[in-house]
Every structure is written in structure tokens, then in C-alpha cells.
Structure 1
Amino acid sequence: MYSEHSPHSHAFLGAAHDENARRTLWVVILTFVMMIVEIAAGYLTGSMALLADGFHMATHAGALGIAAGAYAFARRNVDNQRFSFGTGKVGDLAGFASALILAMVALGIAVESVARLLNPTSVAFGEAAIVAIVGLIVNVVSALMLSGGHHHGHAHHSHHHHGAAGDHGHDHAHGHASGGDNNIRAAYIHVLADALTSVLAIVALLAGRYFGWVWLDPAMGVVGSLVIGRWAYSLMKASAAVLLDVTDEHVAQEIRDILAPVPDVNITDLHVWQVGPQARAAIVSVAGNGLTAWQIREQLWPVHEISHLTIECETAPTPSREPSVPEAART
């Protein structure tokens, strides 16, 4: 097993991983309790906005449970060698699942709200508003709990071997990086979506009670579904990009800018992708005469986002030896 502090460690969990896990678990408990209260009150009062908020919160309780489970799984398998680049992307998988749940919730709320617009039902506005206000308070508390995470740096490590034939490096560079935890982001968006539906429910219920605008209750459900759907799309797009190893163009361009002025260096291949909330992996292939993986590593050391660096040096053949295959830094 790899130690988290070993030069060969592939522990790319976020710096606030354990703290975020605790916060998420507490929010799961709060959400589950409020879910029961709102669904029961929605049925008793006949409020579509309140029922939408309650069922919406029910799916959030499940999604937040997925988030909590993802944190536990990632921590439990942090040193499991079956995961080639560690478990830093487990949270992105959970975030993508949460985004799908959000999208289905938005669709369900929209369908039911349109049905209520076409076939209005009586609503106990006053009682429902009180429960919605309590739900909003719980959502605000949950949002404050989830927004308190911090991003910390990781210690630097490097490891380099000299091959028997030429400069043939095995190079790791570990550094602190900026980045987002899509798992905690998903949990936060779920809570914000709950808060939004609570606010819309309160507005609709009060308007129905004091102005007789019964239509506003389901109308607010439609508005809420559109906003939640937009959030779901944004989260799905961000987490899918990580899962599909989309190139981190910012870091890739930083690598190009650093190596461009170096004499006799030509980048022949470059890959940069996210392996954890605050960690990027990179494969850099360069061509030139007399280059070593160690020299390239020294040039790229300022790129602190890189937590796992693999360097391949293609040296030109000389008359004194046969052409060799590319000399690679393998991990």
C-alpha cells in the first residue's frame, strides 16, 4: 500500500475532504428531518409549492447521502492501488449523479405544477407558509454549514531515478493547487435549490392568502423547476468534464509558456487533467538534444497545480549509439 506521504502516493483528496464529509453528514440529517415535516404538511394543507419543496428535499436527502457516501468511499480507498490515480475523482462521480437527480426533480416539479395550473386545488395558505418558513431556516443553516470549507495546500514531494541507458526519469512532483470539490458543490447546490423552492413557496402562499392569487402557487413551482434545471446542467457539465479528463487548458498553457523560452525544447505531446479537487496530473513529452527529465521537472516546478507529473524526453540519436526509443518518465 502507498502511504499518503510517500513519494509514490496517489492520494489526491481535497485538503478539506474530512471536514466537508462531516459537514455533509450533518446536513443529511437536517434535510431528512425537514423532508418528513414538509411532505406531511404539504398533504395536510394541500399546498403544491410545499409538497414540491418536501419531495424536492426528499431527493436531496438521497443525493446528499450519495455525497456523504462518496467522501467515505474515497477516504477508505485512498491508498488502494487498484485506483491508478487514487480516489480524488469519486466526488465528481457523486456530483454527476446528484446533477441527474436535480434534473429529474426539476422535471417532476414542472410537470406537477403545470397540472395544478390547469386544475387548481384548495390550499391552506397560512399553515403551509409557516412550514415553508421553517424549511427555509433549515436550508439557510445547511447552506452556512456547507459553505464553510477551506482549500489547503499539499506538501511538495519529488522522486527521480536515473535509468541505465541515458537519462530516463521517473518523476513525481506533488504540489498544492486551487480547484473545486464538485461533491461539496453538488451538496451546496442541492441545499440552495431547497432554499429557492422554500422562498418561492412562501411568496406564493402569502400571495394566495392575502390577495387570492391561487395560480401563483403552481406558477412558482414552474419558475423553481427552471432555475433548478439550470443549476443541474451547470453541475453536470462541470463534473462530466472531470470524469472525461477534459484538458485543464489554464495549466496546459502555463506549461507551454514556461517551456517556450527554454533553448532546444519542443513540446511534442501534452496532457493535463484533474485527478482530485485540488490536484492535476500532467504528461509532458519534449524533443531536444541532451534533455533530461530532471531538467524539465525543474523548469515546471513553479506550476503548483501539478500533483502528478510524468515527463518523456525524446533525445536525438548520436553517431556513437543506435537510435533509441523515447526515454520516458513512467509512474
Structure 2
Amino acid sequence: MHTETLNRLQHDHNFAVINRKGERRTRLVLVLTLLTMILEITTGMMFGSMALLADGWHMGTHVAAFMITLYAYRYSRAHAHDQTFAFSSGKVGVLGGFASSVALGVVALMMLVESGERILAPRIIQFDHALMVAGFGLFINFVCALLLKDSHQHGHSHDHAHGHVHHHDHNLKAAYFHVLADALTSVLAIIALYAGKQYGWNWLDPVMGIVGALIITRWSFSLMNETSPVLLDESIALKHKTAIKDVIENDADNRIADLHVWRVGPDHFAAIISVVSHHPKAPEYYKALLMQSQGLKRYGDGLRLAHITVEVHQCQGEDCEG
């Protein structure tokens, strides 16, 4: 009884990102980054280079971020089709990104404190050895960047209305830019070490450590600002709400009594809409209006409404005029 209608009305709640190629490459990048981190931290302490030590700690933050990324991939895949979450495991990666941003802030603070101590109490630096290790670290960053460059473009998530939709893997894209930031820190370390060796500017080494810490801090706040609104179900921008209202209210005498839109995955949004009309139609009619609207297909580049719930009320008298 009602089987056909039930099947038509049920939503697919799988909004998790599946990117096996990206997952494999992230695992390889994790191993390379971990080995380089150990090498740079060890040699930074041995040779007295704060810039090299800072670069090693910066790579350590990437190790943590990559481990979180891999865990998020595996956890999301394991819970993609069960009832653990109301709207699938699409936000697991977002939570991991927020955790990484907090860890980055702590590491940046440690680097600032250590660099300040090195400015007040300079140490002897073995420039040749430190330069060699810093150059190796930059090479590893370059390899990791190549591995992650295109992988984030081959992920997909499931859209209940359109099947599998290819889009950018935002978590892996963040990891890619994280590697680029680490490469920049390596460049700063090399500049500081070279200047110290050639011109005796030993003070530049801890200064570059501070610069590296500021870069990490800025990335940390950027990631925190990007992930926290998603975790807190922040609503969409007013212009997108207005666009949704215009699509519905420009059709006949419809009025929207209540509207809620929030992110349910890295690239998908859910909407609950209450419509009032003198001549109401079936909810599928209003859903079709929204899905056909070109201006609502992507958020940022537009808006993708992947899960729409519409309740319809018939208006009596003159209550919904105007």
C-alpha cells in the first residue's frame, strides 16, 4: 500500500564526499610529511635553527590534518548509508577541519614563544647543514603539492535528484593549500638561513619563525571561520533567501510563511519551506520551481538545494493578500 508514493517522496540522505584517489594520495603525502617533519625538527634542534624548527612543527600540523582527513574519509564511507546521522556523515570532514584549526592555533602560539626566546637569547646556527635539510623539506612539499593538485577535482557526492554529481573535494583542496603554506614556510627558512650565512643576519632566523607562526595563525582563523558556521547550522546569505522567496512568490499568489536553509554536506543544502496560497498545489510543484531555477544551483557559485521539504497551506479570505 502506498509503495510507489512512498518511494517517490523519500529522500536520499547521503551527502558524504567519496574520493578514493584523493584518499590514497593523502595517505602517501602523510607518510612523506611525517618523515620530513621528524627530520626537520631533529636537525633544527641539532643545528640551532628556529626557522627550520618552525618549518618542522608546521609540517607536524599537516600530519595531524592529514590524519584527520583520512579518518573523516573512512568514517564518512562507513556511515554513508546508515541512520547514525540525520543527514548522513557529510559534516564529519567539517568537524575535522575545525579540530585542525584549533591545533594550528596552539602550534602557532608555541612557535611565537620559541622565536621570541631565540631573539632574546640567540643560538649558534650550523647554516650548511640546516640549509641542506630545509632544501630537502621544500622538495618534499613540492612533491606533496603535485600529488594533491588534481585529486580534489575527482571526488563525488550523491545528489538525490540528479544521481552522482562531480565537484571539488573541499577537504582535500584545503589540504592542498595547507601544503602550499608549508612550502612557503620552507622558503622563509631557506631565506633566513642563507642571509644568516652570507651576511651574518642571525636575527632573521627567529624573525622568519615569527612570520611562519603568523601564516599558520591566519590559516587557522580562516579555517575556523569557514567550518564553525557549518557546524552551527548558520543560515545562508540574505540574497540567497531572497532568491528562494522570489522563485516561489513570483508564481501565482504564493507567500512564504517560514523558511529555513542550512548546509547538510560540504556542497549541499537542505531547505524547509512553508507556503501559503489561495490556490495551493502539491509540494512537488514548488520543489520543481526551486530545482529548475538557474540561480539556485550552487552556493558561492550559486546554491545547491539537495533536500527540500515543503508544507502547503490554503489561505482563506484576504489573509495572504499583498
Evaluate the alpha carbon distance shift between residue 315 and residue 101 of structure 1 in structure 2; reply closer, same or farther with a 3 A threshold: same
Q: Deviations over 1:187-212 (max 9, x none)?
A: 23432332122111000000000000
Find 1:112's aligned residue among 108, 114, 125. 114
Residue 58 of structure 1 corresponds to which residue in structure 2? Answer: 60
Tell which deviates more after alignment, 252-261 or 112-121.
252-261
What is the one-letter code of the residue matched to 2:124?
Answer: S
Residue 229 of structure 1 corresponds to which residue in structure 2? Answer: 217
8 Å Cα contact 1:288-1:314 kept in structure 2 = yes
1:296 counterpart = 2:286: yes
Evaluate the alpha carbon distance shift between residue 154 and residue 193 of structure 1 in structure 2; reply closer, same or farther with a 3 A threshold: closer
8 Å Cα contact 1:142-1:191 kept in structure 2 = yes
Q: 1:276 is paired with a residue of what secondary structure? A: coil
Residue 38 of structure 1 corresponds to which residue in structure 2? Answer: 40
8 Å Cα contact 2:269-2:306 kept in structure 1 = yes
Tell which deviates more after alignment, 298-307 or 110-119.
298-307
Residue 150 of structure 1 corresponds to which residue in structure 2? Answer: 153
- Structure 1 gap segments, 5+ residues each: 1-5, 159-172, 319-331
Residue 11 of structure 1 corresponds to which residue in structure 2? Answer: 14
Q: Distance in 2 between matches of 1:210 and 1:312?
A: 73
Evaluate the alpha carbon distance shift between residue 134 and residue 25 of structure 1 in structure 2; reply closer, same or farther with a 3 A threshold: same
Residue 121 of structure 1 corresponds to which residue in structure 2? Answer: 123
1:261 counterpart = 2:250: yes
TM-aligned CA deviation for residue 128 of structure 1: 0.4
Structure 1 length as normaliser, TM-score? 0.83
Q: Deviations over 1:18-70 (max 9, x none)?
A: 33322221211111111111122112211111111112222321221111111
What is the one-letter code of the residue matched to 1:264?
Answer: D
Find 2:272's aligned residue among 258, 277, 283. 283
Pairing of 1:231-246 with structure 2 (within 5 A): 231-246=219-234
8 Å Cα contact 1:174-1:308 kept in structure 2 = no
Q: Deviations over 1:144-200 (max 9, x none)?
A: 322312166767645xxxxxxxxxxxxxx878586762x324423432332122111
Runs of 4 or more, structure 1, over 4 Å off, are 151-158, 173-180
TM-aligned CA deviation for residue 244 of structure 1: 0.9
What is the one-letter code of the residue matched to 1:56?
Answer: H
Evaluate the alpha carbon distance shift between residue 179 and residue 30 of structure 1 in structure 2; reply closer, same or farther with a 3 A threshold: closer
| Higher normalized helix content (fraction of residues) | 2
Evaluate the alpha carbon distance shift between residue 155 and residue 204 of structure 1 in structure 2; reply closer, same or farther with a 3 A threshold: closer
1:79 counterpart = 2:81: yes
8 Å Cα contact 2:193-2:205 kept in structure 1 = yes
Q: Deviations over 1:114-154 (max 9, x none)?
A: 11001000001111011111111111221232231216676
- Structure 2 gap segments, 5+ residues each: 1-8, 298-303, 318-322
Q: Identity across aligned pairs (percent)?
A: 44
1:252 counterpart = 2:241: yes
Q: 1:116 is paired with a residue of what secondary structure? A: helix
Q: Distance in 2 between matches of 1:48 and 1:8?
A: 54
TM-aligned CA deviation for residue 79 of structure 1: 0.9
Q: Distance in 1 between matches of 2:39 and 2:155?
A: 38
Q: Distance in 2 between matches of 1:151 and 1:266?
A: 40
Q: Distance in 2 between matches of 1:154 and 1:109?
A: 38
8 Å Cα contact 2:108-2:217 kept in structure 1 = yes
TM-aligned CA deviation for residue 289 of structure 1: 2.2
The alignment of Structure 1 onto Structure 2 pairs a total of residues equal to 297
Structure 2 length as normaliser, TM-score? 0.85
Q: 1:221 is paired with a residue of what secondary structure? A: helix
- Which protein, 1 or 2, shows the higher relative CO under an 8 Å CA cutoff with sep ≥ 6? 1
Q: Distance in 1 between matches of 2:312 and 2:163?
A: 20
